[in-house]
Structure 1
Amino acid sequence: MSAIAWIATGSLAAWGWLLLGQGFFWRTDQRLPKAHARVQPGDWPRVTIVVPARDEAEVLPLSLPSLLSQDYPGEAEVVLVDDGSSDGTGKLAGELASRYGGLPLTVASPGEPEPGWTGKLWALRHGIGLARARGPEFLLLTDADIAHEPDSLRRLVAAAVGGDLDLVSQMARLRVASFWERLVVPAFVYFFSQLYPFRWINRRRPLATAAAGGCVLLRTSMAERARVPDSIRQAVIDDVSLARAVRRAGGRIWLGLAERVDSIRPYPRLADLWRMVSRSAYAQLRHNPLVLAGTVAGLAVVYLAPPVALVAGVVGGDTAAAWTGGIAWAVMAGTYLPMLRYYRQPLWLAPTLPFTALLYLLMTVDSAVQHYRGRGAAWKGRTYARPRPAPDR
């Protein structure tokens, strides 16, 4: 067999393992457990919703009213932490609360982060500190660009109480409207679930640990036991770091795809999506050049080799390369179909996954380049040139 045929065979073997041995990552049926959605009237615990917000005036009119209008049977309140905004985020939050009513809102500002803290975790530290003074049993940590259906909080708490869980997290359904969002966003969640299979996370004896930072319901007692967020204050990938801190403290975690929680932040251009991915991609690789090289090689063999082998085999008359490349590409596309259905996207996008993987490969390399130029993990005017990666799981 030719070299390209051998590479395609290796890719096909990899896809056989990914299909059956990687926690069935490609399935999209990990949703909030309906069997746990039973809490007796009067037993609903007190919840404080903590929202870190920096320059979020554009999205706040859509997201904050959805939190204020939560149909929650117990006591709940919202604490919005204005993290040094320059666009009037804090003032707008107060105006929205006056206009829409609903849950009580507190707007606070902690000032600039102390050395050794990332901005979001500094804001969460301040918000969680204010929340603890009220004595809530649960904290809902949610980003300012996340909109919740009216029953979202009730369903989250019911799942946590019914399942005796310390952390319940949902991967918010990201916005998919522009051409580039359709091409890149479903793949983002697909790759995340491949790296952190939800089934492995949700096992009694977990094989992986992660959370989705846009929507995290956390027991206050577990936050104290895990010393959150102080123990992860430098983490750029704060959601995974949070989950690992909770797991190390003996907590039980559940992660799944959201049905009632949506991100409303637009990423209309490729450049917007590029910045979203590249700002933290190299941190995920622990800023290790060898891990970067292995990741690039792995992406090339697993995602790029199948279509290259198919085309080269057809053009060059290499039957083995064409068949193995074609089958590997078909398996790859098949595993992508459930995610496209979840995002309500046309299924013909499935064969484009190799091109999207190439984009992610380039974004990851660019993330490393920006890191060594001292511009890594840039977000809204702040740059964390040498941040600490997420701790071991």
Structure 2
Amino acid sequence: MKYQTRKPALILLADGTIFHGKAVGGKTGSSYGEVCFNTGMTGYQEIFTDPSYYGQLMVTTNAHIGNYGVNDDEVESDSIKIAGLICRNFSYHYSRDAADDSLESFLDKNNLLAISDVDTRALVNYIRDNGAMNAVISTEVENIEELKKRLAEVPDMKGLELASKVSTKEPYFFGDENATYKISALDIGIKKNILRNLAERDCYIKVYPYDATFQDLESFKPNGYFLSNGPGDPEPLTSAIETTKEILKTNTPLFGICLGHQVLALANGISTYKMHHGHRGINHPILNLVTGKGEITSQNHGFAINREQAEAHDNVEITHLHLNDQTAAGIKIKDTPAFSVQYHPEASPGPHDAKYLFDQFLENIKNNKN
């Protein structure tokens, strides 16, 4: 069988460290990106198609990947967005009635390089100790020095603008055009399940490209504005930051998720920074400082906002904290109905503890409309 004759493969980290494995399927060659890991036990298909992961080599900490196949409805964008997959055990055979195909076939259709038989526990521990860094996965195992040269030319995630790589090229609509509320959404890497959650709440959404101006978004005459999740460093998104500043002047409800949360912070003069290894998984604990309640959340980000600057800001209130490292995970603007969170209330995959945030956004819209 094919998995008995798979090609040797490796992971070469930017600091020269090497981990060994074997190629999955027939795809060979090399793939470059920032290596990161996700602790989710399920939801690999949603993770692989999440635009926030664009340009990253994904290490899955769950030992078995592919065992339940893939389903055509369980995607968060139109294609796989990760740069490559690294896993422990890859399942060529799957067991699920709802599956449409195997993960191997899904990866092949998307031309994605994947390697398995990797000591992912050791690799994840290394990333946790030494930080997320650029890496290459490759079947060119005899060509280490050349791989090192090519890897050295890969740009660092810090300062890298990636929203333009995943954003829609043209505006499009989502939901029922007869819905009660209209939302203008800035797509800097939007997930489909965010749009589904808004549509389920009687919203008709017009989705705009990452560089849309405030005048573009305003032309839809929306009842609220939305800033999406997405990949890369938020600081180069000068157009989105300026558009957000203009939105805030209108006193119209605004909701931001993940990268959108960072853009809202930057629009208020709060800086962002690259984290040591980020938050990626579906089991991250959050404390809602307004209600005093805890939430288990789905997260995917490698940047965060400056908590000290947010606390010192006269017009910003921190509403949520990440309990593992006390980073600011949610803010609201005091003089206008605008708020944001660093994590993913739409989950997919993950728990639904934070779905109330969509209801909070709609409540702001209803109050503003009245």
Same fold (TM over 0.5): no
Which protein is bigger by CA-based radius of gyration?
1
- Structure possessing the higher relative contact order (Cα contacts under 8 Å, 6 or more residues apart): 1
Compare the two structures and name the one with the higher strand fraction. Answer: 2
